[in-house]
Amino acid sequence: MTYPKPFDFKNYLSLVKFSHTIFALPFALIGYFLAIYQTDSIFTIKLFVLVLLCMVFARNAAMSFNRVTDRFIDKRNPRTASREIPSGKIHPRDAFIFSMLNSILFIATTFFMNRLVFYLSPLALLIILGYSYSKRYTVLCHFILGLGLSLAPIGAYLSVTGEWALTPLLFSTIVLLWVSGFDILYSIQDEEFDKEESLKSISAIFGWKKARFISGFLHVVVVLLVIKVGFIINTRLYYWIAVAIFVSLLALQHIVVKRNSEKRINFAFASLNGLASLLYALFTIISFYIH
């Protein structure tokens, strides 16, 4: 196979699905501004930029590593055969180097935050990179993905305060269950392929009907948690607008998804979840300052 030049910016943006950073990044911003809202901390451009950089580096490291480890599986799957590595747009070696470079930059960036975040950064990296192997061994793979993204709000909160607190942990739990739920829905389109490859997705193990039920149950818990958070942080109108939008888009996701419609699943996965994350974060952050 002939590979193109080692670094093509557009190919790497596509490799890491940079647009999907929108899932966790808004929750990182919630964690950051929540810390300022609940403590005597002040907003600083330096720390804000460091938080953003950590999110980008972590996302790049995780996605490129996943594409390297899954390259043979992706090549056998008609849905993913056109991805950058199996299609020959990026050499696996170059993608691995890109992943390791971003991993180093992620840890290096946390060094300029505080000691706690720096000491925890290797563990965070282990979780987000370790997900790439989980589908081969455990049906909990969806939750490991959710756990990786759930580090965003608590990580951003810790970067400001250096101390643990209940509310950012609740936001992290929301992300954990929300992401796990929509990843289960996303896996429905690969049910038959995952069975043939002996991959442990919930849809492959339990079937698509039970997968939808499990996803729905997780998202019901998410709804209860976002309501609970509203009472804990004691904000008013704008947070409840955030809740209404988030819950509505969550429900719409389950309505539009059909087992054999890749277009509908991708719309629910990328568009609806991205919009839900953005608007929920926007109105939640506004609620910290406007009552």
**Alpha carbons 26 and 236: distance in angstroms, whole number:** 20
- Burial environment of residue 209 by CB neighbours within 10 A (0 to 12, 13 to 18, 19 or more): exposed
Q: What is the pLDDT of residue 203?
A: 95
Q: Taking the CB of residue 173, how many other CB atoms lie within 10 A of it?
A: 19
Q: Is the pLDDT of residue 5 over 60?
A: no
Residue extents of the structural domains in the chain: 10-289
Is the pTM here over 0.85, yes or no?
yes
What is the DSSP code (8-state) at residue 190? G
Residue-wise pLDDT tens digits, 89-141: 999 999 999 999 999 999 999 999 999 999 999 999 999 999 999 999 999 99
Residue-wise pLDDT tens digits, 139-197: 999 999 999 999 999 999 999 999 999 999 999 999 999 999 999 999 999 999 999 99
AA identity, residue 113: M
**Alpha carbons 166 and 287: distance in angstroms, whole number:** 18
**Alpha carbons 285 and 31: distance in angstroms, whole number:** 9
**Alpha carbons 130 and 148: distance in angstroms, whole number:** 9
State the chain's mean pLDDT as an integer. Answer: 92
For 188-207, where are the alpha helices, taking DSSP H only? 191-196, 202-206
CATH superfamily, with its number, for domain 10-289: UbiA prenyltransferase (1.10.357.140)
